[in-house]
Amino acid sequence: MDKYDNMLAINRERSKEKITSAKIAIRELMEDGERVSVPKLMKLTGLSRGFFYKNAEVRRELDDAVQQQAGTINPRRKILDQAMDSRIEQLQNQLAQLQRENAELKKENAKLHKALSRKNLNLIKSL
Tens-digit pLDDT profile for residues 34-66? 888 999 999 989 999 999 899 999 999 999 888
**Cα–Cα distance measured from residue 29 to residue 101, given in angstroms and rounded to the nearest whole number:** 52
Instruction: Judge contact between 93 and 86, C-beta under 8 A.
Output: no
Give the pLDDT mean for 10-14: 92
Nearest in space to 55 (alpha carbons), one of 7, 9, 6, 14 = 14
Taking only the tens place, the pLDDT of each residue in 61-103 is 999 888 888 766 566 777 888 899 999 999 999 999 999 999 9
pLDDT at 72: 64
Domain limits, the chain: 1-72, 74-127
pLDDT at 14: 92
DSSP for 23-83, written as a single string: HHHHHHHHHHTPPP-HHHHHHHH---HHHHHH-HHHHHHHHHHHHHHHTS--HHHHHHHHH
pLDDT at 123: 66
> pTM of the prediction?
0.53
Alpha-carbon distances, residue 107 vs 12, 32, 84, 104, 119 (angstroms): 85, 59, 34, 5, 18
